[in-house]
Amino acid sequence: MITFDHVSVQYDDTVEPVLSDVDLTVEEGELCLVVGHTGVGKSTLLGAVNGLVPHFTGGTLYGTVTVDGRDTAGHPPRELADVVGVVGQDPLDGFVTDTVEEELAYAMEQLAVPPATMRKRVEETLDLLGLADLRHRALHELSGGQQQRVAIGSVLTAHPRVLVLDEPTSALDPTAAEEVLAAITRLVHDLGVTVLLAEHRLERVVQYADRVLHLPGDGRVVSGPPADVFRTTTIAPPVVELGRRADWTPLPLSVRDARRAAAPLRARLAGAPVPAARPPAPAAGQPRLLDARGVSVRYRGQALPAVREADVELRGGETTALMGRNGSGKSSLLWALQGSGTRTEGSVRVVPWGAAGTPGARGAAAGTGRGARDPGTGRAGNSRAPGTGKSGGSRDPGAVPATEARRLVGLVPQTPTDLLYLESVRQELDQAEAESAVADGPPARAILDRLAPGIDGATHPRDLSEGQKLALVLAIQLSAAPGVVLLDEPTRGLDYRAKAQLTSILDELAAEGRAVVVSTHDVEFVARTADRVVVMAEGEIVADGPAADVIVASPVFAPQVAKVLAPLPYLTVEQASAALTTAEAGAR
Amino acid sequence: MPHRTAAARPSVSGVLPGADERRLPRTLHPLAWWVWALALATAVSRTNNPLLLLLVLAVLGYVIGMRRTEAPWARGFKYYLYLALTVVAIRVLFRAVFATGITPHDHFLFSLPHIPTPDWYAGIQLGGPVSLEAVLSAAVDGLRLACMLCCIGAANTLANPKRALRVLPGALYELGVAVTVSISVAPQLVQSVQRVHRARRLRAGRSKGLRALRGIVVPVLEDALERSLRLAAAMDSRGYGRAGSATKASRRLTGALMLLGMCGLCAGAYGLLDASTPTFLGLPALGAGALLCVAGLRLGGRRVTRTAYRPDPWWFEEWAVAGCGVLSAVLLFTNVGFDAAELNPSLYPLSWPTLPLVPAVAILLAGAAGFLAPPPLPTTAPQAAPRVPARRTEKATAK
C-alpha cells in the first residue's frame, strides 16, 4: 500500500538529512505505529506519505514514495486526497466549514463526488463515528474528542485507502483520547483502512499496533512487529518497560497481557516492603506558602461557576498534580490562585518566598510560618484588603500589582508562547529580568541553563522545541523568584524524554522549598512527579490526598504499573524494579 | 392540541388558512429570495409615492414574519430598519442644514442661523430658512433609499447567507471559501487576543501603550500565521484546488468576458433606472452584459471540478417566489393601467398623494411570496431546542 524506496529527506536549513535511505513497505489494512523522540522526523515521515513533504514544506526528497501505485513526486497532496486522508494534532486547525455535516462533505465536494453518493456517505460516516446526534452542531461548540472524530470523519468520507494521523490525541484528555482511539481501531478492523499513527503517549496505542516504525534519531527507520521492536527501543510505555525488566516473553503490550504474565511477580513482591515512588517530600515540616479558602470563579454571562468553593493549601517542597477532565475548572483555579484570573469569591493568601522560613529567609521563620496560618477566611470583601505587612506577612496576589503578584506566584499558561514576543532568547531573558526587578536573585540566563542547558541566546523563541519553549517561559517566570509555581498542562506535546526532564526540573524546584502545582492529564507523569494529587470535577475539588492513595484506587487515573500489580501499591517501573532488585539480592 | 399553528400565529395567513400544516417545511433556494428582493428593490426605485413605499415596507414585514427562521442571521431585520431610519434622518438633516431646493412660494417652517461661507466655497449655503416642501421631499427620497435597503435586508434575513454563497458560480468559488474561512477563523482570533492579553499580566507587562500592543500583536499574529499554514496544509491534503482544465488563454478570455459583461450590466442598470438616457442603454445593454457575464462565469467555472453537498433544489415554489417579485417590478415599469405621474406625485403644490390601484396591486402581489414559499425548517440549533420540538409536536398532532 505504501512503499518508501531509498527515501532521504533534506531540509535546506539543516546539515543532516532528516530521513536517510529509508526503505519500507506498509501492507494494506495494517495499523502502523510511528514512534520516536520529538524532532527525529516522525512528522516528515508522515508528511511524505501524502506528498506534503516536500510539495508543501519545501526541502528535497530523494528516492520514491509510492502510495496505492501513485508516485508522490508527480502527485501533489490535492491529487492524492482520494487515497490518503490526513488528520493533524489540533482538529480546529483543519476545519474549513463550520458545521459537522458540511465539514464531512468538504473533501467530497473537492473530489467532485456526485451529490447523491455524497449524501449517502455522510450518513454512513455519521453512524460509523457516532456523530449522528451532532450533525447540525457548530464545530467550535463540540468537545475536543468530538472535534477530533469529526476531523477523522471528514477525511474518511473521501474513502481513502490510507489514513495518516499525526498525534491525534495529544490535545485531548484521557477519556476523549480513548474515544478517538476506539474509533480508529474500529476503522482498521471493520474497513481495512491502512493507518499510520504517530503518538507520544504510547501506553494508549501500543496494544493496537500491527507494526511499529521506530525512528532512533539518526535518520534510520526500524520496522517490525511491536513485540520485537520494543525489546530495544529507547522509548517504551511503562507496561513494556516492566515486561523488559521482568524478562517476560513474549513482551506484553497491553495491561491485560501483562497482568496475566505478572502473577508470579506479584506473588514474589507480595511480602516485600514497597519502596517509595518518590523521594519523601519534606512537606510536613515545611511552611504553608499558599492558602486559598472558598475560591469560586464565575465568568460573566455563565450560569454555572467554573470553580466552586475550592480550598487549596500548598506547602513548600511539595509537588501537587491537578487532574480532572477538560473543562472541570483546572485552568480557572490556577489563574485565580495566581491573581490574574477572575475570582468571584474567596480568599487567597500567599506568603512571600524568602520570608517564610526558607533557607536564607529574611523574616523569622517560625513566627511568619504561624502568621501565614491565619488567613482572612472572609469572602470577596475583606479578601481584597492589601497584604498585612511589608515583610513576612501573607498577601493576596489578586490585590497587589502584577509585578508583585509575579513574585508571589508564577504561572506558566497552557500556551507558553503567549508570553513570548521578542526576537531572541537573550532579549526575552533580559526583558524578564527588567520586568521582575529582583535584586539578589540569580540571572535569568543561569536559571534557563539549569532548566535546559545549551540553548543559544540568539535563537528565535519560535524555533525552540516544545520542551525548550516551556523551559524558557519557566525561566522567565522564575526570574521573579516566586515561592509558588503553577504550570497549566505543561506535558502537552512533550515526549518521554522531555517529560522526564520536566520531572527533574520540578523536583529541583520543590527541593528549593517552593510549592509546585502541575495540571495534567498524564497519569504516568503524575505517578513519577507528584507527591499529592487534587482531582477536580465540575469546578469542585472531589479528591485531595497523597498521590499513591488517590491514583491507585481510580480506574481512570491509575498508571499502568498500578493496574498490572494491583492490589500491590506500586506506581512506577522504577519502584517495581527496585523492589525486584532487593528481592533478587535477598534470594541470592 | 386544541389550536392549530396557523391560528396561533399573529399573521394575515387567512389567505390560505391551515395550508402550512399540509406542506413539508424546507429551505427555499437562496437565489429565489434574492431575485424576489432585488426585483422589489427595482420596483421601489421606480416610485416616489410615500404610500406605495410604506406598502412595500408592510409587504416585507409580512413575508419576513411568515418565512423567517430562528437562525442568528434571521434576527437581523430590525438592524436594517434602524439603518433605514438613520438614512431618512440624515437625508432630512442635510437638506435642512444645507438649505437647498427652496423656492420663494414654499411653506417655511423655521429658520436656522445662517453661517457665512468663504468666497471660494460659495456654492454651498449653510443654514437659513427651512421649508416644508424641502423636508418632505428629502424624507420621501430617504424613504425610497430606506425601502431599497430593507429589501436587501429582507433577502439576507430570509436566505441563509452561507447557502447563498454556495450558489456563487464556480468561477467565484474561491471568494466563497475565503468568506467562510474568515467567518470561522474570526472567533479564534478574538480568543487568541483575549488569551494573550490575559497572559500579559503574568509577565507584569504593561497592558496599555505601544509596547503592550507589540506584546499582544506579535504572539497573536505568529499564532494566526502558524494556524493558517496548518489550515492551508489541511485544505491541500483534502483536495482543495485540484486541477481542472484551464489554460492561460481561457483564463484571459474569462477575464475579458467578465469585464465587458460588468460594463454592460452597469450601463444597462443606469439606463434602466434613469429615465433621461437613450433607450439603447437600457434593456439591450443590460441583456448583453448579462450574457457576457454568464459566458465568462461558465468558462471560468469549467476550470474547477467540484460538486455541492445537498444542493438546494429549484422547484415550483422557487419559480413562484422569484416570479411574483419580478412580476411586480415589471408591472411598475410597463406603465399600463395607471399614470406614471402617480408614481412620483409632485410636492408643488402640496397635496396628499393618491394610491394608484395597479402599482398597489403589483406590490401586494410580491407579498404573495409569504405563503407561496414553503414554511422554513425548524432550527435545530441547541439554544433553540426547547422551543422547536414543542412546535413540532403541535404540528404533528394538528394533522
Q: Choose one of B262, B284, B303: the last residue of a domain.
A: B303
CA dist., res. B174 & res. B172, Å (int): 6
User: What pLDDT is stored for residue A38 in this prediction?
Assistant: 81
User: What pLDDT is stored for residue A121 in this prediction?
Assistant: 93
Q: Does the residue B97 lie in any domain?
A: yes
A386: cell is 492589601
User: What pLDDT is stored for residue A498 in this prediction?
Assistant: 86
User: What pLDDT is stored for residue B43 in this prediction?
Assistant: 92
Note whether B157 and B81 are same-domain residues. yes
Q: Is the pLDDT of residue B11 over 50?
A: no
Contacts of B172 (CB under 8 A, 6+ apart): B297
Q: Does the residue B10 lie in any domain?
A: no
DSSP H or E stretch at residue B111: strand B108-115
Q: Determine which of B194, B237, B242, B304 to mutate to test the interface with A (most A C-beta atoms within 10 Å).
A: B237
CA dist., res. A27 & res. A80, Å (int): 18
What stretches in chain A show pLDDT beneath 70? 281-285, 355-392, 438-440, 588
Beta-strand relationship, A194-198 and A211-215: unpaired
CA dist., res. A174 & res. A168, Å (int): 12
Q: Does the residue B236 lie in any domain?
A: no
Chain B residues whose beta carbon lies within 8 Å of the beta carbon of residue A141: 382
Are the Cβ atoms of B238 and A52 closer than 8 angstroms?
A: no
Note whether B158 and B277 are same-domain residues. no
DSSP H or E stretch at residue A337: helix A330-338
Note whether B260 and B123 are same-domain residues. no
What 3-state class would DSSP assign to B217? helix
DSSP of B27-71, one letter per residue?
PPPHHHHHHHHHHHHHHHHH---HHHHHHHHHHHHHHHHHH--SS
Q: For chain B, what is the domain count?
A: 2
Note whether B282 and B152 are same-domain residues. no
Phi, psi (degrees; rounded to nearest 5) at A378: -65, 170
Residue of A nearest to B214 (CA): A421
User: What pLDDT is stored for residue A41 in this prediction?
Assistant: 87
Note whether B140 and B51 are same-domain residues. yes
Note whether B252 and B157 are same-domain residues. no
Domain range for residue B147? 20-165+314-380+388-398
Note whether B326 and B250 are same-domain residues. no
Q: Is B213 on the interface with A (CB under 8 A)?
A: no
- A90, A147 in Cβ contact below 8 A? no
CA dist., res. B375 & res. B373, Å (int): 6
Span A427-477, pLDDT tens digits = 888 888 887 776 667 888 888 888 888 888 898 888 888 888 899 999 999
Note whether B55 and B147 are same-domain residues. yes
Q: Is A525 on the interface with B (CB under 8 A)?
A: no
User: What pLDDT is stored for residue B19 in this prediction?
Assistant: 60
CA dist., res. A198 & res. A216, Å (int): 14
User: What pLDDT is stored for residue B74 in this prediction?
Assistant: 83
Span B92-129, pLDDT tens digits = 998 888 866 677 777 888 888 887 777 776 667 777 78
Q: Is B228 on the interface with A (CB under 8 A)?
A: no
Note whether B272 and B323 are same-domain residues. no
Q: What is the ipTM of this complex?
A: 0.83
Beta-strand relationship, A515-519 and A484-488: parallel
Note whether B286 and B321 are same-domain residues. no
Lowest mean pLDDT among A32-36, B74-78, B281-285: B281-285
Note whether B71 and B139 are same-domain residues. yes
Q: Choose one of B257, B276, B303: the last residue of a domain.
A: B303
- Chain B closest-CA separation from residue A93 CA (Å): 6
User: What pLDDT is stored for residue B60 in this prediction?
Assistant: 95
**Nearest CB partner across the interface for B242, out of A79, A92, A436:** A79
Q: Does the residue B95 lie in any domain?
A: yes
User: What pLDDT is stored for residue B27 in this prediction?
Assistant: 87
Chain B residues whose beta carbon lies within 8 Å of the beta carbon of residue A76: 236
Note whether B35 and B157 are same-domain residues. yes
Helix count (H) and strand count (E) of chain A?
23, 19
- B223, B190 in Cβ contact below 8 A? no
**Nearest CB partner across the interface for A109, out of B222, B308, B382:** B308
CA dist., res. B236 & res. B232, Å (int): 6
A212: cell is 511499529
* Number of other CB atoms surrounding residue A536 within 10 Å: 23
Strand partners, A19: A9
Across all residues in chain A, what is the average pLDDT? 85
Q: Does the residue B206 lie in any domain?
A: no
Q: Is A142 on the interface with B (CB under 8 A)?
A: no
A296: cell is 469560586
Q: Does the residue B294 lie in any domain?
A: yes
Q: Is the pLDDT of residue B383 over 50?
A: no
Q: Is the pLDDT of residue B394 over 90?
A: no
User: What pLDDT is stored for residue A417 in this prediction?
Assistant: 85
How far apart, in Å, are the Cα atoms of A492 and each of A329, A383, A466? 17, 34, 9
Are the Cβ atoms of B382 and A141 closer than 8 angstroms?
A: yes
Q: Does the residue B176 lie in any domain?
A: no
- Greatest alpha-carbon span in chain A: 79
Restricting to B residues 309-338, those with a Cβ less than 8 Å away from any Cβ of A are: 309-311
DSSP H or E stretch at residue A365: helix A365-371
CA dist., res. B134 & res. B350, Å (int): 11
Residue of B nearest to A155 (CA): B238
Phi/psi zone of residue A36: left (φ > 0), alpha (ψ -120 to 50 degrees), beta? Answer: left
Query: Does A287 or B43 have the greater pLDDT score?
Result: B43
CA dist., res. A332 & res. A305, Å (int): 10
Compute chain B's Rg from CA coordinates: 27
Chain A residues whose beta carbon lies within 8 Å of the beta carbon of residue B308: 109, 115
Phi/psi zone of residue A14: left (φ > 0), alpha (ψ -120 to 50 degrees), beta? Answer: beta
Q: Does the residue B204 lie in any domain?
A: no
Phi, psi (degrees; rounded to nearest 5) at A426: -60, -45
